[in-house]
Amino acid sequence: MAPGDLILTPSWSWHDHGNETGETVVWMDGLDIPLIQSLEAMFFQFYTAPQVPASRPPNASKQLHGHAHLSPTWVKEKPQSSPLLLYSWDQTREALSALRENDGSPFDGVALEYRHPQTGGPVMPTMACWVQLLRPGQQTKAHRHTGSAVYNVVHGTGSTIIDGQRFNWSKGDIIAIPPWALHEHLNASSTEDAVLFSIQDTPVLEALGLYYEKALEEKDGHQEVTSVFAAT
Amino acid sequence: MAPGDLILTPSWSWHDHGNETGETVVWMDGLDIPLIQSLEAMFFQFYTAPQVPASRPPNASKQLHGHAHLSPTWVKEKPQSSPLLLYSWDQTREALSALRENDGSPFDGVALEYRHPQTGGPVMPTMACWVQLLRPGQQTKAHRHTGSAVYNVVHGTGSTIIDGQRFNWSKGDIIAIPPWALHEHLNASSTEDAVLFSIQDTPVLEALGLYYEKALEEKDGHQEVTSVFAAT
Amino acid sequence: MAPGDLILTPSWSWHDHGNETGETVVWMDGLDIPLIQSLEAMFFQFYTAPQVPASRPPNASKQLHGHAHLSPTWVKEKPQSSPLLLYSWDQTREALSALRENDGSPFDGVALEYRHPQTGGPVMPTMACWVQLLRPGQQTKAHRHTGSAVYNVVHGTGSTIIDGQRFNWSKGDIIAIPPWALHEHLNASSTEDAVLFSIQDTPVLEALGLYYEKALEEKDGHQEVTSVFAAT
Amino acid sequence: MAPGDLILTPSWSWHDHGNETGETVVWMDGLDIPLIQSLEAMFFQFYTAPQVPASRPPNASKQLHGHAHLSPTWVKEKPQSSPLLLYSWDQTREALSALRENDGSPFDGVALEYRHPQTGGPVMPTMACWVQLLRPGQQTKAHRHTGSAVYNVVHGTGSTIIDGQRFNWSKGDIIAIPPWALHEHLNASSTEDAVLFSIQDTPVLEALGLYYEKALEEKDGHQEVTSVFAAT
């Protein structure tokens, strides 16, 4: 696990977390537990030892499934969650860089979704992962949609305006966008790109026929800022 | 177009072919015309000029869709054929190299399929494209399946045994495997890898519920060679 | 609406409820509101008048879509919820009667699911509707599954044992089976069939990859009854 | 088998044909053999006796799957071809009668497609079956599409105009419409309905992304009749 990497732990896989260095490591853990608990479909089991012995070589999933648009024909299983467990920052940075000048989405900038290599679908049935780049000074337009998102700032400084409230952010910050809240993003720097990672529950809304989206039409698509969030 | 690249021309796209160098260029063109003609679903139109003016920058499809497991969220259309029109040899070689020591398929070696980036399906509704690596001395086992394939030798020397007849091949050769023919591949070199590219009509057979596959069970899965093909 | 009919009100359809007779009418209303609210995807609008004027003749959906295995080719839309809004008891009784002697499911007896006529899927993306017949004296085996169900007794007398507690029922009663609860059904009559209607959230669990099912293996598949539910 | 019934013989099912009466029986047999042979995916096997012993009671498939919009929950297999092997004329006539006054399709009248009860798809992966009613004097408009059709006249007298040639028909006649041929239907009677059954290869064209359709725009959608077909 290196900075910027996305690592998946699909449901019902033995897993443990560890830090083999002498330094602190921090990452954002994205879980669908509130949904699964409200559906009372939660199962949980402890392994018999503190650590699960590795049954495959390090990064075996990347060796097998990590190749752009080329898939192993001898692998017949298509698990619900992506069989690719590591999405390296190298590839992500390269993709963002290649698309940097693209118009992208008016609401999200150059927003890319991590994909299940075998189906082109979301990485998990309940959660999609996104990475998005905002060019220096870029301000997106406001929209709202069912489904919520939790953001992690990978790089840069800027702000997200949510239902009229401005949340200023910089590297490492976490921002949550509730369902149906109007939101727009701003890269506050005039020289540096901003990069945001996010986890979205869009796959749930789409699977149940509940995904709706609406752009703000007034004021050229921008909200009036009526307050600024201040962490205590 | 560089050696080893795969380029798609999806149906109903204006296209022309050209060579801007002073040297001969040769490539294998894979067409589904016999099938489309037998279905009487063939449409054809000449452009008003010898060359279609480019409406997008060179390799725009690769810039947009060519990123491993990361897709542009603002692109909503999912065409039947892959929107990625160039699969570069660089990426293919890298993938084959990473999987070189993998067991792969007993019948096809390290066989990878080129994929539609949005669906994980075949690159076209009627044709799948494969690339496969045979390690030095590797001989695959024989099987047969509905669906036919046309192979192009990208690298190396070896032979393919089809219904008991041996076809020796080297770089640039084209070999056709008819439906339901027993076939197995052999890399004749003890030091060099062999790489085969192929076009398969498996998607047609699968879409119509007609795909069947059967391994040769006798003689440890190998055919007796009863003749050797000789080009006149 | 006649006794035993199933009527759907798909999301975002204007609808009102009424009783044009002088007698009391009672029906079971099945809503997915708890789920939709927990996803904060609830939208609600009052019509400008107490009653929505009918825009189609009575039972137009049945005239168009209510024919067994024959669908109108000129209708191109496939809504998420079934376009057939009335499933008449006549047809249901006929189907139950035809399958009365069938082994059916060991856990549910002759259990039939109401189907979306265009897709064969559940009647709604979030709710499936079932009707099941238990022959005189029939006792099903116990199993548990993610997903919950709400039952309405259409005909007969019997009991359902849920996690060791017996719930006795007769016509008009409503029984709820929570997620992952062990349950089995018993028709207490030795002469009359029992018929149960139910609404299940199985489509939600399946869409999210969370459906699991497990039969009770001990004691020939039957639970020990440790208490009997008594309404106060 | 009674007049007007549709009976399916899915691929790789043992079957024989017989007539237990002293009278001649005639039916139209619809086969996809030309397609399967051109794909070289044809398999054929004789049974060891002239007649296959029945392994299920007569019309078991209808008892199990023949109920409008109600499906047996304990049947988990979903075969490619419809598991319902008999579509009785009773139900067909009832459906045509119920929809008799419907506008239907401008090109095909009240045209219904027989459906796979579990998927809502065509009855077979390669062939769709249709039944259509033309009211007295009704003349449809002309269109053309990829895919071909073979018609059988169930009831009535009329004509079909194919690429400017008129084919007059009455009960029992068979008419073939080639791919991309302009065609329109006319019920020549001023008092009797006409009913046409047809087998279409639309599922093949759709599965391969080759289905196109085009209405005749000139002359209010009707062709000029330039010749009349005469059987010798």
Could you read off the pLDDT of C116-167 as tens digits, one per residue?
Answer: 999 999 999 999 999 999 999 999 999 999 999 999 999 999 999 999 999 9
**Coil vs helix vs strand at A191:** coil
Q: At residue D7, does pLDDT exceed 90? A: yes
User: Are B73 and A102 within 8 A, CB to CB?
Assistant: no
- Contacting chains of A (3 CB pairs or more, <8 Å) are B, C
Answer whether residue C232 shows pLDDT above 80: no
Q: Which residue in B66, B71, B105 is closest to A115 by CB distance?
A: B71
Closest CB to A125 among C38, C208, C212:
C208
> Mind listing the pLDDT tens digit for each residue in B116-127?
999 999 999 999
- In the Cβ-directed half-sphere of A209, how many Cα atoms lie within 13 Å? 17
| Chain A residues with beta carbon closer than 8 angstroms to that of C179 | 39-41
Distances (CA, A) of A227 to A141, B227, D136: 18, 84, 72
Q: Which of chain B's residues have a Cβ under 8 Å away from the Cβ of A83?
A: none
Q: Touching check for D72 and chain C: CB below 8 Å?
A: yes
Under 8 Å CB pairs connecting chains C and D tally to 123
Min Cα distance A65 → chain B (Å) is 9
* Distance of alpha carbon D228 from alpha carbon A177, whole angstroms: 70
Partner residue opposite A70 with nearest CB, options B64, B92, B104: B92
Q: Report the gap between the CA of A188 and the closest CA in chain C (Å).
A: 31
- The DSSP string of chain D is --TT-EE---TT--------SSS---------HHHHHHTT-------SSSSPPPSS-TTHHHHHH-STTEEETT-----SS-S--EE-HHHHHHHHHHTTTS--BTTTBEEEEE--TTTSS-SSSS-EEEEEEE-TT-BPPPEEESS-EEEEEEE-EEEEEETTEEEEEETT-EEEE-TT--EEEEE--SSS-EEEEEEE-HHHHHHTT---EEE--SGGG-PPP-EE----
Average pLDDT over residues A31-37: 95
- Determine the residue among A32, A39, A211 to mutate to test chain C binding: the one whose Cβ has the most chain C Cβ atoms within 10 Å: A39
Q: Does A125 touch chain C (CB under 8 A)?
A: yes
Compute the nearest-CA separation of A91 from chain C (Å).
Answer: 28
Closest residue to D113, CB basis, from C73, C84, C92: C73
Summary count for chain A: helices (H), strands (E): 4, 14
CB contact under 8 A, D146 and B209: no
DSSP for residue A57: -
Check if the beta carbon of residue B10 is closer than 8 Å to that of residue B81: yes
The residue length of chain D stands at 232
Q: Which of B93, B69, B103 is nearest to B6 (CA)?
A: B93
Chain D partners (3+ C-beta pairs within 8 A): B, C
B163 touches chain A (CB under 8 A): no
Give the pair of three-digit tokens for residue C222: 């039957």
In chain D, the percentage of residues whose pLDDT exceeds 70 is 100
Average pLDDT in the B134-146 region?
98
Q: How many contacts does A have with B, using Cβ atoms within 8 A? A: 123
Choose among D87, D98, D119: nearest Cβ to C120.
D119
Output the average pLDDT for chain D.
96
Binned at pLDDT 50, 70 and 90, residue B68 comes out as confident
Residue with tokens 């009677």: D189
pLDDT beyond 90 at D169: yes
Contacts of C70 in chain D (CB under 8 A): 87, 91-92, 95, 112-115, 131
The pLDDT value recorded for residue D231 is 75
pLDDT of residue C81: 97
Q: At residue D232, does pLDDT exceed 80?
A: no
Contact between chains at C207 and A125 (C-beta distance less than 8 A):
yes
How far D148 CA lies from chain C's nearest CA (Å)? 16
List, for residues B197-224, the tens digit of each pLDDT value.
999 999 999 999 999 999 999 999 999 9
The token pair at C47 is: 């019509």
Q: How far does the CA of residue B185 sit from the closest CA of chain D (Å)?
A: 22
Q: Tokens at residue A217, please? A: 């039409």
List A145's β-bridge partners, or say none: A213
CB atoms within 10 A of CB C138: 17
Closest-CA distance, D133 to chain B, in angstroms, reads: 28
Q: Are D104 and D111 in contact (CB under 8 A)?
A: yes
Q: How far is CA D48 from the centre of its chain?
A: 32
**pLDDT tens-digit series, residues A203-224:** 999 999 999 999 999 999 999 9
pLDDT grade for A178, boundaries at 50, 70 and 90:
very high
Hey, which residues does A215 pair with through a beta bridge? A143
Would you mind telling me the total number of residues written for chain A in this entry?
232
CA distance B80 to chain D (A): 7
Predicted confidence band of residue C49 (pLDDT cuts 50, 70, 90): very high
Contacts of D76 (CB under 8 A, 6+ apart): none
DSSP B108: T
**d(C-alpha D63, C-alpha C123), whole Å:** 22
CA distance B75 to chain A (A): 9
**pTM (two decimals):** 0.94
Partners of residue D208 in chain B, C-beta under 8 Å = 35, 39, 125-126, 204, 207
Contact D72 C131 (CB under 8 A): no
Query: What distance in Å separates the CA atoms of residue B38 and residue D205, rounded to the nearest whole number?
Result: 12
Which chains neighbour C (Cβ–Cβ under 8 Å, 3 or more pairs)?
A, D
In degrees, rounded to 5, the angle at the alpha carbon of residue B42 between the alpha carbons of residues B39 and B44 is 175
Provide the pLDDT for residue A68: 87
A84/B contact by beta carbon, under 8 A: yes
Enter the tokens of residue B90: 């660089």
A37 three-class SS = helix
Mutate to test the interface with A, among B59, B65, B70 (most CBs of A within 10 A): B70
Q: What is the pLDDT of residue D68?
A: 87
Exposed e or buried b per residue across D185-223, where buried means at least 16 C-beta atoms within 10 angstroms of its C-beta: bbbbbeeebbbbbbbbbbbbbbbbbbbeeeebeeeebbb
A chain contacts of residue B120, beta-carbon cutoff 8 Å: 71, 116-121
Highest mean pLDDT, choosing among A47-51, A164-168, D65-69? A164-168
> Going by DSSP bridges, is the β-strand pair B227-228/B165-170 parallel, antiparallel, or unpaired?
parallel
- Chain D positions touching B36 (Cβ under 8 A) are 210
Measured between CB atoms, does C181 come within 8 Å of chain D? no
Mean pLDDT for the stretch of residues C193-214: 98
